[in-house]
Amino acid sequence: MKAVIFDLDGVICFTDKLHYKAWKNIADEQGIYFDEKINDRLRGVSRMESLDIILEKADRAYSFDEKKEIAEKKNDIYVSLLDTMSEKDLDANVKVVLDTLRSRGTLLAIGSSSKNTKKILEKLGLRDFFDAVSDGTNITKSKPDPEVFLKAAEMLGIKPVEAVVVEDALSGIDAALAGGFECVGIGEAAMHPKVTYPLKDLADLPEIVLRKNADI
């Protein structure tokens, strides 16, 4: 296994909570019911598709222009929450996992649907850390489509079978499998019936990569 492709929100950082806060603000303003369970369905899904899921609970139809305006407002709130982030928000356990894999020569990439990926990496002090960053700015279809991971593999110059994808979202596991990748699931994604490696703790990831390489 030459490479590990990480999802960003909910794997490398806990921005999924900030997405929730921003969407909750919007939903409350529009008088639409929204809770953490609905928020789980937004993991890995693009901004506009997330809004469509939230609007399932609305009692009226929204025009395209209204949706565009709401999505922009949500992003403004989200970005102002991101502005409070710093290197201190990089979880120590995540950093150990990244450094361990890096020290063993594993290629490391990001595969995220977020258009804010580069901003978040900058905030966490990881701007130049990854060998490739594939994100919402270079894809036309978001997860469960495999495009974001296939682009990451292409940027790394490797085949999907040579990489493992790490995900917290069910849609991300579907995307990885559709692209021909093995996948590690944490959180809800560990419950996916087809996940290759369900994990309780991301700290176990280097061991999985090591064992997999010893088998080859």
* Binding site feature residues for substrate: 7-9, 23, 42-47, 50, 74, 112-116, 143
DSSP single-letter state for residue 117 = H
Catalytic status, residue 7: yes
The torsion angle over the Cα atoms of residues 170, 175, 177 and 181, rounded to 10 degrees, is: -120
Instruction: Answer yes or no whether residue 146 interacts with Mg ion by CB under 5 A.
Output: no
Q: Find tokens 């996916």 and name the residue.
A: 192
Residue 116 C-beta: closest distance to ligand BG6, Å: 4
Closer residue to ligand BG6 (CB): 106 or 114? 114
CA distance between the termini of the chain: 9
Instruction: Answer yes or no whether residue 47 interacts with ligand BG6 by CB under 6 A.
Output: yes
157 to 176, contacts with Mg ion by CB under 5 A? Answer: 168-169
Instruction: Answer yes or no whether residue 10 interacts with Mg ion by CB under 5 A.
Output: yes
C-alpha 72: how far from chain center:
20
Catalytic status, residue 9: yes
DSSP single-letter state for residue 184 = E
Q: How many residues bind ligand BG6 (CB under 6 A)?
A: 17
Amino acid identity at 60? R
Q: What are the angstrom distances between the C-alpha of 123 and each of 40, 88, 111, 118?
A: 24, 9, 17, 9
Q: Which residue in 1, 112, 148, 163 binds ligand BG6 (CB under 6 A)? A: 112
> What residues line the site for ligand BG6 (CB under 6 A)?
8-9, 19, 42-47, 50, 75, 112-116, 136
Q: Which residues are catalytic?
A: 7, 9
